[in-house]
Amino acid sequence: MGRSRRSIPEELLLLALDPATGTTAQPQSLDLGLAGAQLVELAMAGRIAPDGDRIAVVVPRPTGDPTLDCALELLRRRGAPVRAVNWIGGPRLGLRQTYLSHLERCGMVHAVAGQMCGVLPTTRYQATDTEISREIRARLDTAIRTGVPPDPRTAALAALAHAVGLGKHLYPGNEGRSSRSRLRDLIRHDPMGGLVAHAVMDVQNGVAAQPRRSPAPAGRQAAPGARPAPEPARGVPMQPHRGSMARAVAH
């Protein structure tokens, strides 16, 4: 399959897939990254555009990718630009499995049945063509090694890889410290990727879920001894991931 036919969510998932174990690194944050990667892909397709820290639908026409079009339709139904951090922090149950199943249908991975603790059925996913994963990794390595600004897709992929914590998976240990630092620096080469990556990190850190409260009108003062009103809660609550006792998805 040619590179032009792979979406950024697909590449992010392939990058996170461990070829030895068939599991994905950083499974919880990866779900957020996949939601963010959809936004980047839709932006590159000209369907959405950044509006400050918000995302606006500019062309609601479907892309032909069912998973992306589902996200596009949900954004369209909002009726107004949505903050990237709120969108990414919303419930995304099953998104990782959706993309794993898609990659399996495309022949890029195959499912391997197993058992957890000898009882619970599990499914792991092995890449069928490791050359694809090597090519994706090579693009990141080249950008890190040469310092040459990467193309927008590679820059966005690097930003998301950093945001979900794949740096320590791709470049482990003390010897990988400088590579992890340069991976982080690639975030500046794609504005949309940078916006989404920062939103992913904000969700994980519980930052900036709500705008600051407007100051009280002039002339209104609190009664003597009264305690100030509490600040509104900040951070987007993480949605629990529901498991299945009948089928455990690879992580």
Sheet holding 48-51, edge to edge: 48-51, 54-57, 82-83
The strand pair at 109-116 and 54-57 is best described as unpaired
- Tens-digit pLDDT profile for the chain (251 aa)? 334 468 999 999 999 988 777 788 888 899 999 999 999 999 999 999 999 999 999 999 999 999 999 999 999 999 999 999 999 998 766 888 899 988 988 888 888 876 666 677 778 888 887 888 899 999 999 999 998 889 999 999 999 999 999 999 999 999 999 999 999 999 889 999 999 999 999 999 987 555 434 344 444 444 444 444 443 333 333 343 333 333 333 44
In 3D, which of 182, 250, 243 has the Cα closest to residue 30? 250
Under 8 Å between Cβ of 123 and 166? no
Under 8 Å between Cβ of 37 and 10? no
The strand pair at 120-127 and 109-116 is best described as antiparallel
How is residue 44 annotated by DSSP? Answer: H
Task: Read off the pTM.
Answer: 0.77
Write the burial class of residue 164 (CB in 10 Å: 0-12 exposed, 13-18 middle, 19+ buried). buried
pLDDT tens for 194-228 read 999 999 999 999 875 554 343 444 444 444 444 44
Residue type for position 230: P
**Residue 5 confidence (pLDDT):** 66
**Residue 91 confidence (pLDDT):** 76
d(CA 115, CA 118): 5
